[in-house]
């Protein structure tokens, strides 16, 4: 997982190889997951020599660039609301499936607009962070495109999965 950090918001980019244990008939999904998350500073007292701790929360919204086969672009969707980090409402957008990288880029250029669809209170207060993330949107998108390219290479067999259906890499 890679993390792109602003002061109070972060975007994470991670590889995903998933088999839903509740619906194995849906088959394997593989691709890239991006999440917009809150960042909180550790406010515990410490000396001036102590570093500042940060906590990165569960996702506020998620973009899943998933496929049932390399290049299929058939399971791409997003979750605008994620109570307690759980993706509830799954939205499929034709533009996301047609141009996933361009679609994500547009969302990263308008993080406040994206967060207005989430459960976050006062998304407009995150405007400085949204501007900071927009400045690195090209880097996030380049990382996403490269990761999606790697995930589209011939899929290796998965020997073991955890209880959530995620591939275990040893």
Whole-structure pTM value: 0.90
> What is the pLDDT, as a whole number, of residue 105?
97
> What is the pLDDT, as a whole number, of residue 47?
84
- Mean pLDDT, the chain, rounded, equals 92
Q: Say if CB 67 and CB 30 are below 8 A apart.
A: yes
Nearest in space to 63 (alpha carbons), one of 25, 5, 131, 118: 118
> 25 pLDDT exceeds 90?
no
Q: Is 35 exposed, middle or buried (0-12, 13-18, 19+ CB in 10 A)?
A: buried
Task: Name the β-bridge partners of 166.
Answer: 18
Q: Enter the DSSP assignment of 157.
A: P
- Per the structure block, which two tokens stand in for 111? 């993080």
> What is the pLDDT, as a whole number, of residue 90?
87
What angle, rounded to 10 degrees, do the helices at 127-135 and 137-151 form?
Answer: 60
Give tens-digit pLDDT for 87-135.
888 889 999 999 999 999 999 999 999 999 988 899 999 999 999 999 9
Report the b/e string of 120-143 with b at 16+ CB within 10 A.
beebeebeebbebbbeebeebbeb
> What is the pLDDT, as a whole number, of residue 151?
95
> 21 pLDDT exceeds 80?
no
Please give the backbone phi and psi of residue 128, each rounded to the nearest 5 degrees, phi first: -60, -40
> What is the pLDDT, as a whole number, of residue 22?
77
């Amino acid at each position: 997982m890679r993390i792109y950090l602003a002061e109070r918001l972060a975007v994470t980019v991670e590889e995903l190889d998933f088999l839903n244990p509740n619906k194995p008939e849906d088959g394997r999904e593989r691709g890239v997951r991006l999440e917009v998350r809150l960042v909180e500073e550790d406010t515990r007292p410490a000396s001036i020599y102590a570093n500042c701790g940060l906590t990165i929360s569960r996702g506020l919204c998620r973009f899943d660039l998933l496929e049932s086969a390399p290049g299929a672009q058939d399971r791409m969707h997003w979750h605008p609301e994620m109570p307690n980090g759980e993706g509830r409402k799954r939205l499929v957008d034709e533009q996301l499936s047609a141009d996933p990288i361009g679609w994500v880029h547009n969302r990263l250029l308008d993080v406040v607009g994206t967060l207005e669809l989430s459960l976050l209170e006062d998304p407009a207060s995150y405007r400085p962070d949204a501007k900071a993330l927009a400045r690195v949107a090209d880097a996030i998108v380049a990382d996403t495109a490269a990761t999606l390219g790697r995930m589209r290479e011939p899929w290796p067999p998965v020997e073991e999965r955890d209880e959530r259906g995620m591939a275990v890499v040893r």
